[in-house]
Amino acid sequence: MNSYEEQYLDLLTDIYNGGVLSNNRTGINTRKIWGAQIHVDLLHEGFPLLTTKKMHWKSVVHELLWMIKGDTNIQYLLKNGVTFWTEWPYQKYLNHCKTLTDPDYDVHIEDLEKNCVREMTQKEFEQEIINNDEFAKKWGSIGRYGYGGMWRNFPFYDNSDPHCNKVPTTTTIGAKLDCHYETSSGYACEVGHVDQLADVIDSLKVNPDSRRIIITAWHPYHSNNREDALLPACHNYIQFGTEELTWHERLEIAREKDSRNENMYNKYSDEDFDRTGIPKYRLNCYFNMRSSDTFLGLPFNCAFYALFTHLIANQLNMIPSQLVYTAADVHLYENHLEQVKLQLTRQPRDLPKLNIKTLGKSIFDIKFEDIEIIDYNPHPAIKGEVAV
């Protein structure tokens, strides 16, 4: 059964047939609908990697590891063969090149203020980012408040003292103090930065029933400032929640782990299951998107957050259960319509399975080699150009 992909193909059909024509900042019109939701059963159906077109699994994993690190520079991605974030830094580079009056300098000059001195192809730009650390530092950033920055270093302020004389002596879990922010209108006290991901892990450990286990990637100021975020977060709100497993559910898990002691487990109490490391909770994830590119982006977003949920559950000895996607502006770009027609002719196959080789490993220490996808049997890939 693959109800995830059936829901996805139904959504493609709804937008293709009934979407409203809309223009946007990219210059490529879309067909869009307002509001959509997809429910993914991680517990029973497998891992949500589309089968009606082959997906680049490597990109899903490396993008998540990149954000978990709090990284906002594309050098890591490019060194690992992931290119879909290049467009935005590359366009910034080209726009700067066009402002220079003398385009004949060599790109490797030491003066980094003049280190954008000739137009190059996107492939050349990517190689320069990979091979030249100084160039990457200057031109490889997606902005300080791109996804990883917001996840691991979300800023908070205290404007009560215009000269920033006061710094709190205590902080919340995951907060770092750093009082040095100045605005054009005067001084504002940037008290520190919150590590939202660390807070999520800690909250799930100590208060798994909380309704406040949230990561936000949207900032009212920084997300709308192009220098701070070249592409404002599309998936901008993530919430995790748990459900306690019943005694019978825990019994089945214990039996699966050790069928030799099947009869013994019938006598176990919940305390016995706790003592022997049988999971106590299901872990659910809900993520919201302000803008959802349904052909190119959405399949990666669902696989991305499914993997995110699995990695957290793996660290905390929980069972990945529900993944819920919801979005506001849900659209198809007009240069993807032919590809969508082809995809809709294909029949979904069984979803693959995910295997994490290192049980209990911290999400902050997980490597690409720790994760593998099993029994993935998709139709051929269908390519489409990203709209920048």
CB burial of residue 211 (10 Å; 0-12, 13-18, 19+):
exposed
The burial class, CB within 10 Å (0-12 / 13-18 / 19+), for 83 is middle
Cα separation, 261 vs 191, in Å, equals: 55
Q: Is 234 a catalytic residue?
A: yes
* Token reading at 325: 């996607």
SS3 17: helix
Give the contacts of 319 (CB within 8 A, at least 6 positions apart): 43, 245, 253, 279, 281, 282, 283, 313
From 242, 157, 156, select the one nearest 200 (Cα to Cα).
242
The catalytically annotated residue of 179, 189, 234, 285 is 234
181 within 8 A of 189, measured Cβ to Cβ:
yes
List, in sequence order, every residue forming a beta bridge with 235; answer none if it has no partner.
289
3-state secondary structure of 356: strand
Buried-exposed string 56-70: b where 16+ CB fall within 10 A, e elsewhere? ebebbbbbbbbbbeb
**Active centre residues (catalytic):** 234
